[in-house]
Every structure is written in C-alpha cells, then in structure tokens.
Amino acid sequence: MTQVDAIVVGGGLGGLAASIVLGAQGRRTLLLEAAECLGGKAGTTTIDGVTVDTGPSVLTMPHTLLGLLRTAGLAPDDHIQLRAASPGFRYHFADDTVLDVHHAVGDTLDSVHATLGGQAARELEAFLAPRIARFKIPEKIWCQHDPLIRGATDKTDRRAIRAACLGL
C-alpha cells in the first residue's frame, strides 16, 4: 500500500474540507468513506418522486467555503456563483402565520415585529444580542483565518475563545 501522511475517516463536508487542506499542505492523504458516495449529510434523496435535501440547504458561512476553494488553488468564481436570497428563508406555520427571516438581524427583528408583535421582537433581540457578541470572537479566529495558518492559533486566541464560550 502507498504510504500516506494522513488518514481522514469520513467523506462528509468535514472530512472533505480536511482532506483539501491537508492536500494543499502537500500531505499525501487517504480519505476513507463507508457510504457509496461522498458528501455525508449533504446529499439528496428521492421520496415519492420528489428530490429533497438530506442535510444542509443554507450556506451559513459562505466565506469558509470560498476560502476552502482558494486553499485548493481554485478560483471560486470559476466554480460557483453565490447569490444571497431575500428573504433568507420563510417559515409557514400551521396556523397560516408566515414569517420571513433575513440575513441582517435588524431586518429579521422588523419582520418578527410586523408578524408576531413587539413583545416577540424584543424577546428575540434579548435572546440574540449576547449570543452574537459571543460568537464574534471564535468566528473571527476559527472561521475567517486561512485554513493553512489556522494551526498558528496562539495562547491569547485560546484565552479569548474560552472567555467567549463562557460568556465572560
């Protein structure tokens, strides 16, 4: 068997991303996948003639995907064209309430205010504010770094992440 530097178990989004980064670092990488096709939860299945997603349908961190393509030496524009949907998505509740959710938090709060009332909007804002603040630190460190230099996360970064996660 050919000698490898790294073995990645699982060819879902995580394993595929890891393999791309390792490959870009010049490491011979073996990706093992138990299923018949790659993708893991990100796939489709057909039920009664209708094709549905089995997992992700919303690209929550587009910059991460674009960064991964660049890491692989690909120009994102040559492969995908991302367009922000407006609204981001729409909830249809059983009682016929329809609620639009937008990319900008302020727009979503306006939408909740218009659909569910001021009290609901205030409750959502109070729920979101501390969580958005806490997410900003790990997001900046883990998701916006180039994957090739992410390993350089230093002690200060780790302290900031811990503080953010503990809500300090």
List residues near ligand FAD by CB under 6 A: 9-15, 32-35, 40-42, 55-58, 60
Helix (H/G/I), strand (E/B), else coil: 81? coil
Structure tokens at 1: 């068997």
Structure tokens at 160: 């900031």
The residues that bridge with 89 in the sheet, in sequence order, are 101
Q: How far is the CB of 39 from ligand FAD (least distance, A)?
A: 7
Nearer to ligand FAD, 54 or 119 (CB): 54
Greatest Cα-to-Cα distance within the chain, rounded to the nearest angstrom: 65
Q: How far is the CB of 56 from ligand FAD (least distance, A)?
A: 3
Radius of gyration for the chain, computed over Cα atoms and rounded to the nearest angstrom:
20
Q: How far is the CB of 117 from ligand FAD (least distance, A)?
A: 27
Nearer to ligand FAD, 34 or 168 (CB): 34
Nearer to ligand FAD, 55 or 117 (CB): 55
Q: How far is the CB of 52 from ligand FAD (least distance, A)?
A: 10
Nearer to ligand FAD, 142 or 160 (CB): 142
Which residues are CB-contacts of 53 (< 8 A; sequence separation ≥ 6)?
42, 43, 44
